[in-house]
Amino acid sequence: MPEATAPAIRSIATRAVAAPLSRPLRTASGSIPNAPLLLLDVESDEGVTGRAWIFGYTTLTLRALAAFLEDLEEVVKGQPAAPTALYKDLEARFRLMGRQGLVGMALSGLDMALWDLQGRALGKPVVELLGGRVVPVPAYDSYGVVDPVADRAALEGSLEKGFRAIKIKIGVGDLAWDLDNVAGVREVVGPEVRLMVDYNQSLSAPEALRRIAALERFDLTWVEEPVPAEDLAGHARVRAGSAIPIQTGENWWFGPDMAHAIAAGACDLCMPDLMKVGGITGWLRLMGQAEAAALPVSSHLFIEASAHVLPVTPLAHYLEYMDLASPVIAEPPTLAEGCVTPRGPGLGMDWDEGAVERYRF
């Protein structure tokens, strides 16, 4: 939508929910018992509402995020609902302070809601506004820590849904635990399914190299965040000594973090998080960096919006299928042969108001 004709922003409304998870999310760096979400509704002066959600990681962040967006409403009210222009304005406004943390999460959520608003105003899915087409996007099923015996039925269910790639989280025990766990999962899913593992930043570089060498025999597609996300030198060291591709990026804040990681040689693959890189506008800015560095790009969380940006992303790899928001969405994303297809108008999300009230926090 041309900026000159974009409707003006009338209001920003938020609601906090603690949505139940269909399966527990346990990681080497802690457990998440439910999905703390902040739902955004950005209304225009023409009566069109754009929607998005923010994942708070813990319910402790939700009130602060809501309060910040309430104050931000006074800044953006009356401005055209043109996400790229507003992104630039807010980037300048928070230049001295920086946009990491809760500020970046809120700004990214606002950007996604504005893209949804534009799509709804035009009656088109966001992927078409970006110059792409509505096409199926390959996804992998994303698990927390699993027990190959107790969770066998769930893993087999993923295969029945058409997933040809599965990720599990490891690192909660010693190397022997990792080996037993990965061996058990590989036995369940078979040799043809791609298998990824995620250490969730739990190891030192020397320990990561030791464990990855032992995991080589399981034909893993990637090892994710073996060391702390901010340890770019550690990631580069692990990458240089690993025969398995190293994946990182979900904790990059906006484009500069990606540029620093690329310069450090920190990864073979990348998976930016829409909520941490500036929403859809921020994602579009990152795509060129990934293409220039020959980095395949996967998404992190945000199934609904990720399905719209990956079709226009050079070197698009996988959509992470970790379903956090479906309990409060009227018609959750559907799977077909292990793929998610973007829906519209906008991002294709409407709230299930009954569920929202039930899970209000």
Active site residues: 169, 300
Measured distance CA(240)–CA(267) in Å, rounded:
9
Measured distance CA(169)–CA(189) in Å, rounded:
15
What are the structure tokens assigned to 165, written together? 């790639």
What are the structure tokens assigned to 275, written together? 């909520």
User: What SS3 string covers 69-138?
Assistant: HHHHHHHHCCCECCHHHHHHHHHHHCCCCCCCHHHHHHHHHHHHHHHHHHHHHHCCEHHHHCCCCCCCEE
Report CA Rg, the chain: 20
Distances (CA, A) of 340 to 209, 257, 262: 34, 28, 29
What are the structure tokens assigned to 182, written together? 């990965």
Partnered with residue 223 across adjacent β-strands are: 197, 246
The residue with tokens 């926090």 is: 361
Measured distance CA(21)–CA(154) in Å, rounded:
14
What are the structure tokens assigned to 268, written together? 């073979």
Measured distance CA(137)–CA(81) in Å, rounded:
28
Measured distance CA(198)–CA(196) in Å, rounded:
7
Q: What does the DSSP 8-state code read for residue 245?
A: P
DSSP 3-state assignment of 300? strand
Measured distance CA(324)–CA(300) in Å, rounded:
12
Distances (CA, A) of 299 to 27, 140, 305: 19, 10, 10
What are the structure tokens assigned to 95, written together? 């230049």
